[in-house]
Amino acid sequence: MSRPQVSIDRLTPRRTNAEPRESMNCKSCRKRKIKCNRLRPSCEACKVFQCPCIYDAVPKKRGPKTDVLEALLKRVDGLEKRLQDENHPISPASSSSPVKALEMASLSQVNFHPPPPPHQFPPPVVQHPPPPPTQNHLPETMLDTYFARLHGKPFFILDETVTRQRYQRGQLPSFLSMAIYALTLRYNGPSPQPQGLDYARQARRMVDIDRPSTEGLQTLLLLSQTFFAYGHGKRAYMTLTNAVAMVLALDLYREVPSQSLPATERETRRRLFWTVYVMDRFLTCGSKRPCLIADHSIVLRLPATDSETGEFFNPVGPNIQYGDVRRKGSGGAALLVDITRILGVTHRYLAAGGVKGDSHFPWHSLSNLSKIRQELDIWAAGTQDLFASIEALFGHPESTLLLLSKLIYHLIHCLLYRPFLPIDLVELRGTGQHQSWQIEATTLCFSHANAIAELAELARHAPRVEWPDLVAYCVCTAGTVHVHGVHYHGREGEVFASSADFLGREMQQLAWLRQHWSGVHHQREMLQTLSACHADLVRTLAARPVRFAPVFHLEDFFDRYPGLVVDAGHVRMADVDEPVSFERPDFSDNRLMYHGLPSLPQTTRSNSIGFQPSQQTSAWPDLGLPDAGLPGFSPSGVAGSPGAFLAESSFAGAPTPPAHHQPQPQYATFPFEASVGTTALTPDEQSQSGSAAGGATTDTSEKDPFLSLLEQLAENEHSQGGPSELDFFLGERLDEGQTEAV
């Protein structure tokens, strides 16, 4: 069945509305928020409400969204910045700028309130430094002065042959030339000149630490010494940290294949690394900061001598073997590296708490102190030929290296044993194991401190010797020992009898060294403060019934001074213009030294320390010393003088007599009875061997020294008339208990 067709004429025609309409609602409908049919002249709603129909709305085009607008503004800002960078600035009032026209067109079409401009950093101030000087501004005399007075004394930073060749060819970098000039400028006057520091700062800015290079490393090492010479310890330390990072980046701590580099360049790499290694130990010495280069990470040979290549470095030591024919010709650089390694081990031992952080008592053979002492004995036995006499030491071509090595050897002994120095010699009374060991430790400490003071005094008259900065720390450490000896009362000729004289010399030496190294100023002030604090401590303990101040429980040497806060490091993390702070609640008077110190005449700066021509080096001054090859006494009559310490017999420790052979302890006994070629014994081994020889059945196991003291006081309580020391020791406690009971 088909669907009937419908004609198109039957569809309802669409009604056309020819009435005009507005594009926007009228004012009345917008106000009432109703629908408006927008008819003219009046809409239906206005007719119903019988109100005038007004069409006043103006149609507007919708603008872009906020994110689109922000992106557009960023593009405009970027275009303006690019145009300004191309040195074609566009005036903001110029209407011909395409960026300005685009911005005006956008703002004319869009009705919006732009967000406030974001906070931007102010444009950097472009500073135009003066053009860096070329190497022609470095006088050749400065280069000669560096290699005559600083090269190898004690650091090997530059290779003289290569440096002079590059200087003649004009290939020496500007920052390296400025560093050499800044470091050697202070040798042209009595004190560091200010312009040297300006050159050092400019050279530091020119070194790109992000691009490691050998020239950059050499510059940083020179600048680190320069900053310390001008008293900027913090800047010197931070410069060295950059040098250490550059050493690791250049792989200088490892040997390179022999086929890749010539022998001279390989040796230069080795000497550069060992310079950084030694400087790292020096700048952290005395502080709590850890060393930046670990011993176990080094796979490198020691510095070579004229005859043979150096041996591989042994991180656990020793590196100088006694009796080894190959090591008899060891150079001063290798000796300095090995004793500096022991100094680093000592630094870690003291930073970890010393005897408090050790698992054994210090007199035990397995204690860390005994192990360090054994390494010192091996080092001393391997260097006996170089230190046979004063003339052999100061007449050696590498006398500065040897002198510094010997001073470090004595310094380590002082650092190890000065925590056990008694405040009063009464503490050493008794025949217990810890008292006999403490007597020996006190004797050793004073003997090595005396050696430091006399060696430093003798070196001032040696024309070949320069003064490294660590000498001041050695002298200051010896001064802390002599501060104790000033208040000891003993017989004439004992090891501490001339402590006042030595302390006066050390104060003068530190004042003299400050002319060369401004960074050592705080050590002299620290020594003055320590002298006054120690005098107060002695008076305080003398006023008490029991003058006993045990030192075995102290973690640090300076803990014996309550309330004293002192920076005992060799390098103070501050600049010379910053005040030195020694905080102490009850100390504000800057008293000089202590009462009764004989005033010594102020000597002028010796010209013998200055640079001497080569023809004068053979003429030696008469030191007026006895033959140092044999054990003897110094003119001051103090045992353990450098004349005796330079002899091989001094390398052996002092044996401790058995307990039954000591009716009265000898506080200053320091015999030199060991023969040449014998291995020196540690204090523990000496005590055990002495006890075994005497047939004594003394128990060698570890025993608390404080408990031993109480036992000894209890045994002597009824043997002496009157109140015993134990009663005095416990009297305060008993009185307090009775008071509380009442």
Query: What local confidence, expressed as pLDDT, does residue 598 receive?
Result: 34
Other beta carbons within 10 Å of 705? 22
Residue 39, strand partner residues: 21
Residue type, 530: L
Query: What local confidence, expressed as pLDDT, does residue 358 receive?
Result: 80
For 652, the 3-state DSSP assignment is coil
Other beta carbons within 10 Å of 22? 16
For 660, the 3-state DSSP assignment is helix
Residue count (the chain) = 742
Residue 583, strand partner residues: 565
Burial of 421 (0-12, 13-18, 19+ CB in 10 A): buried
Instruction: Give the residue from 439, 427, 483 showing the smallest Cα distance to 687.
Output: 439
Query: pLDDT (tens digit, 9 = 90+) per residue, 507-550?
Result: 999 988 888 888 888 888 889 989 999 898 888 888 876 655 56
Query: What local confidence, expressed as pLDDT, does residue 173 receive?
Result: 93
pLDDT band, residue 22 (cuts 50/70/90): confident
Query: What local confidence, expressed as pLDDT, does residue 708 receive?
Result: 55
What's the average model confidence in pLDDT over 26-49?
Answer: 92
Query: What local confidence, expressed as pLDDT, does residue 182 receive?
Result: 92
Q: How far apart are CA 629 and CA 452, in angstroms?
A: 18
The greatest distance separating any two alpha carbons of the chain, rounded to the nearest whole angstrom, comes to 150
Query: pLDDT (tens digit, 9 = 90+) per residue, 257-272?
Result: 777 788 888 999 999 9
In this predicted structure, the answer to whether residue 697 has a pLDDT above a threshold of 90 is: no
Q: What is the dihedral of CA 362, 319, 248, 471, to 10 degrees?
A: 70
Burial of 161 (0-12, 13-18, 19+ CB in 10 A): exposed
Instruction: Give the residue from 278, 271, 266, 219 showing the smallest Cα distance to 246.
Output: 219
Cα torsion 5, 9, 12, 13: sign: positive
Query: What local confidence, expressed as pLDDT, does residue 387 receive?
Result: 83
Query: pLDDT (tens digit, 9 = 90+) per residue, 149-178?
Result: 999 889 999 999 999 999 999 999 999 999
Comparing 550 with 34, which gets the higher pLDDT?
Answer: 34
Mean pLDDT of the chain, nearest integer: 72
What's the average model confidence in pLDDT over 691-720?
Answer: 45
Q: How far apart are CA 419 and CA 277, in angstroms?
A: 27
Instruction: Give the residue from 332, 609, 646, 615 showing the smallest Cα distance to 464.
Output: 609
**Best-predicted range by mean pLDDT among 104-108, 126-130, 314-318?**
314-318
In this predicted structure, the answer to whether residue 70 has a pLDDT above a threshold of 80 is: yes
Q: How far apart are CA 356 and CA 359, in angstroms?
A: 8
The verdict on domain 17-59 having CATH code 4.10.240.10 is yes
pLDDT band, residue 476 (cuts 50/70/90): very high
Q: How far apart are CA 696 and CA 659, in angstroms?
A: 9
Task: Report how far apart, in Å, the C-alpha atoms of 4 and of each of 7, 10, 264, 359 are.
Answer: 10, 13, 115, 117
Q: Where are the domains of the chain?
A: 17-59, 75-109, 361-697, 715-741
* E strands in 113-171: none
Q: Are 454 and 478 in contact (CB under 8 A)?
A: no
What's the average model confidence in pLDDT over 350-365?
Answer: 83
Query: What local confidence, expressed as pLDDT, does residue 218 receive?
Result: 96
What's the average model confidence in pLDDT over 704-711?
Answer: 50
What's the average model confidence in pLDDT over 56-65?
Answer: 77
Query: pLDDT (tens digit, 9 = 90+) per residue, 419-445?
Result: 888 888 888 876 666 778 888 889 999
Angle between helices 470-486 and 399-417 (to 10 degrees): 40
